[in-house]
Amino acid sequence: MTIYFPAAFPLACALLAAALGKFMPRAAKFLAFAGTSLAFIGLITLNNFSNIINNAPDTAALTIACFIALYGILASLWAAQEEESPLFYFNILLSTAFAVGAVITDNLLAMLFFWEGLLITLYLFLMPYNKDTALKAFLINAAGDIVLLAGICLFYANSHSLLYVSLIGDNFWAFALIFCGAAAKAGAFPFHSWIAPAAKDAPFAFLAMMPAAFEKLLAIFLLGRIFIVLFPVPPDMARVFACIIGAITVIVSAARMLVFKDLRGLLAWAVVMQIGLFITALGARLITETDISYILNHGIFKAALLACAFFTAGALNKACGGNDIAALRGAAKTDILLFAALLICALGLAGVSIVDIIFIPNAALIDCYDAMPMLAAVPAAAALSALFAFGKVLLAMLHKTHKIARPAGLQKAIALAAFAPVLFFTFGLEFSAEHLFLPHFSGVHTGAVSVICIVLLLAGLLLAAKVKQPVYEFKYDTYDRAKAAISFCADILFMVDRVMDKLFDYLPSQVVKNLARGLSQAHRGNTPQYIIWAVAGIAVFIILAWGGLK
């Protein structure tokens, strides 16, 4: 139980915030910052004493947990400028506690407990802003969690253990169920349709923390453990399954990004695209135990890009009065730092940043090409669509039509603080799987993939500058389709139930009722009629008995 004490700090502060929220509403702001900060300090302390603690989490898990606590701190500071409800800070603390617990545990059952806790906080986060979206997010994620639970049960049935060190060989169904449960939390197809509606109504502190950072770090880390620890040699069918899910997720998100309405919606679909690319690369890549650094750095880099982009969008939204293209015109001239941060984040999300070209060549492109050359079209299409969409935003920000207000100082500082991890990767540094917060130089790696990334970059920017944004609207929603299918099945079952009621309830009762009425009418006290019935009955009895004797 010692390993869970970093999660105990935000949990205790959450309970205290709930108790004091009614009498001291502003105390929740301080408690949110204090609880997330204590979680961060507790994780570093746990790392220092990991040699004397039984079942202590490895450095990779502690690094992921530290970044979760860091984004919890940033979210609490951001929310302090906008949110007054103690419930919001209660959710920040509870989400941080559950997310940290899910990462540092070594038991699948404990992980599932913390995982389910995030389902509750997700609903509580969204409920004050849009009840329909909150219910949609809850039901979609609950379906994914049920799939994860089924996979864990099947895993236990095969391995008779719930520890991550257990192996069950090449059981495809256990892999598929656990894989789908983890991918669902990150927003992979078909569990993705709640993220975009949530981005319309939810505050930026929630968007930068939950879908962008927490769930991305959690899902990527768990998916990495699935491929490295639980299923070190996944069956070929499992790899094909992962590639198909990832490719569909990328295609759906890329198509939506081309017709984005504002920066919020664009970033929401960027969240979905990143998990699709990661899943496609995992399916194509032959994962080994040495790839834990790849999993670790990919998760941190993408989470940092998304969190910084959402915080930057929040600062621009406050200054410009909106996130649509018309409102963002002239933003680059007003604040060059936020423009530069958004530019670097956009290139990173498109997979054509300096990191992808020079230091760590685009892994998704390499892995997909090595597995199947045609599969490389998936990350290439993702890069072009992302460059086109973000290019439209960045070109609008460079437009000098009017001056806008400067972003608030604290919000700008938080956005740049979220950008700090991106700078490590931009200058060629990456985090180590052996030492906490001790990045090392990744080295320079260039080649054909670097050239392809440069070509994609130039093509995407050219498309953004010369091609008009397409106008079409997607009306297909997996959630709505699932609701319609469930409603149709319910109608069919209701009809079947009515028919069964007729056959086994109404008709027998009517037959018995009519028979009883007929017998009742036949008994009118007529003595000759009774004598005839008695004689007829005796005759039938004699005939049957005589036949039996023969």
* CB burial of residue 163 (10 Å; 0-12, 13-18, 19+): middle
CB atoms near residue 420 (< 10 Å): 11
Running DSSP on this structure, what letter comes out for residue 58? P
Domain check: are 400 and 499 in the same one?
no
Straight-line distance from the first to the last Cα atom of the chain, in angstroms, rounded to the nearest whole number: 85
**Residue located via tokens 């992302």:** 386
C-alpha 530/C-alpha 37 separation (Å) is: 96
Residues whose CB is less than 8 angstroms from the CB of residue 356 and which lie 6 or more positions away in sequence, other chains included: 348, 362, 453
Tell me whether residue 69 is in a domain: no
Residues whose CB is less than 8 angstroms from the CB of residue 140 and which lie 6 or more positions away in sequence, other chains included: 184, 191, 193, 194, 479
Taking every pair of Cα atoms in the chain, the longest distance, rounded to a whole number of angstroms, is 115
Domain check: are 460 and 485 in the same one?
no
Domain check: are 379 and 416 in the same one?
yes
pLDDT digits (tens, 9 = 90+) for 199-228: 888 888 888 888 888 878 888 888 877 777
And the tokens for 381?
A: 């299409």
Of 103, 45, 318, give the one whose Cα is nearest residue 220: 103
Domain check: are 435 and 483 in the same one?
no
Of 272, 276, 219, give the one whose Cα is nearest residue 243: 276
Last residue of a domain, one of 442, 467, 492: 467
pLDDT at 353: 84
Tell me whether residue 118 is in a domain: no
C-alpha 441/C-alpha 424 separation (Å) is: 9
Report residue 404's pLDDT band, with 50, 70 and 90 as the boundaries.
Answer: low
Domain check: are 438 and 534 in the same one?
no
Domain check: are 296 and 226 in the same one?
yes
Return the percentage of the chain with pLDDT > 90, whole number: 2
**Residue located via tokens 């906080």:** 121
pLDDT at 377: 85
pLDDT digits (tens, 9 = 90+) for 179-196: 888 888 778 888 888 888
* CB burial of residue 498 (10 Å; 0-12, 13-18, 19+): exposed
Beta strands in 169-304, from DSSP E residues, in sequence order: none
CA angle 324, 327, 333 (to 5 degrees): 120
Report residue 288's pLDDT band, with 50, 70 and 90 as the boundaries.
Answer: low
pLDDT digits (tens, 9 = 90+) for 482-529: 777 888 888 888 888 788 877 777 777 777 777 777 767 666 666 777
Residues whose CB is less than 8 angstroms from the CB of residue 196 and which lie 6 or more positions away in sequence, other chains included: 256, 265, 268, 269
Tell me whether residue 29 is in a domain: no
pLDDT at 522: 65
Tell me whether residue 157 is in a domain: no
Of 59, 107, 55, 57, give the one whose Cα is nearest residue 293: 59
Strand partners, 440: 430
Return the percentage of the chain with pLDDT > 70, whole number: 90
C-alpha 359/C-alpha 441 separation (Å) is: 9
Average pLDDT over the chain reads 81
Residue type, 392: K
The sign one gets for the Cα dihedral 358, 364, 370, 374 is negative
Q: State the helix-helix crossing angle for 263-284 and 215-225, rounded to 10 degrees.
A: 10
Report residue 452's pLDDT band, with 50, 70 and 90 as the boundaries.
Answer: confident
And the tokens for 192?
A: 């993705």
Residue type, 161: S
* CB burial of residue 240 (10 Å; 0-12, 13-18, 19+): middle
Domain check: are 390 and 358 in the same one?
yes
Domain check: are 491 and 379 in the same one?
no
**Residue located via tokens 């939950």:** 210
Q: Which of 96-105, 129-138, 140-149, 315-324 is least confident?
A: 315-324
Of 31, 33, 34, 97, give the one whose Cα is nearest residue 65: 97
CA angle 300, 44, 109 (to 5 degrees): 70
Residues whose CB is less than 8 angstroms from the CB of residue 370 and which lie 6 or more positions away in sequence, other chains included: 284, 285
pLDDT higher at 393 or 473? 393
C-alpha 78/C-alpha 86 separation (Å) is: 14
Please determine, for residue 171, whether its predicted confidence score (pLDDT) is greater than 80. Answer: no
Tell me whether residue 132 is in a domain: no
Residue type, 277: L
C-alpha 325/C-alpha 19 separation (Å) is: 43
Tell me whether residue 188 is in a domain: no
C-alpha 254/C-alpha 117 separation (Å) is: 31
And the tokens for 334?
A: 């007003």
Find how far residue 246's CA is from the centre of its chain: 13
Question: What 3-state DSSP class applies to 49?
Answer: coil
pLDDT at 399: 78
Domain check: are 340 and 221 in the same one?
yes
Strand partners, 441: 429
Please count the structural domains in the chain. 2
pLDDT at 170: 61
The sign one gets for the Cα dihedral 442, 445, 449, 450 is positive
Domain hosting 517: range is: 479-549
pLDDT higher at 162 or 451? 451
Last residue of a domain, one of 467, 496, 526: 467
Domain check: are 455 and 493 in the same one?
no
Tell me whether residue 151 is in a domain: no
- Per the CB < 8 A criterion, the answer to whether 348 and 359 are in contact is no
What is the H or E stretch that residue 441 is in?
strand 440-441
Tell me whether residue 336 is in a domain: yes
Residues whose CB is less than 8 angstroms from the CB of residue 399 and which lie 6 or more positions away in sequence, other chains included: 329, 330
Domain check: are 370 and 455 in the same one?
yes
Last residue of a domain, one of 414, 435, 467: 467
pLDDT at 168: 56
**Residue located via tokens 């460079």:** 398
C-alpha 36/C-alpha 9 separation (Å) is: 8
Domain check: are 296 and 319 in the same one?
yes
pLDDT digits (tens, 9 = 90+) for 52-77: 777 777 888 888 888 999 999 999 98
Please determine, for residue 167, whether its predicted confidence score (pLDDT) is greater than 60. Answer: no
Of 83, 120, 95, give the one whose Cα is nearest residue 202: 83
Report residue 402's pLDDT band, with 50, 70 and 90 as the boundaries.
Answer: low
Report the residue count for the chain: 550
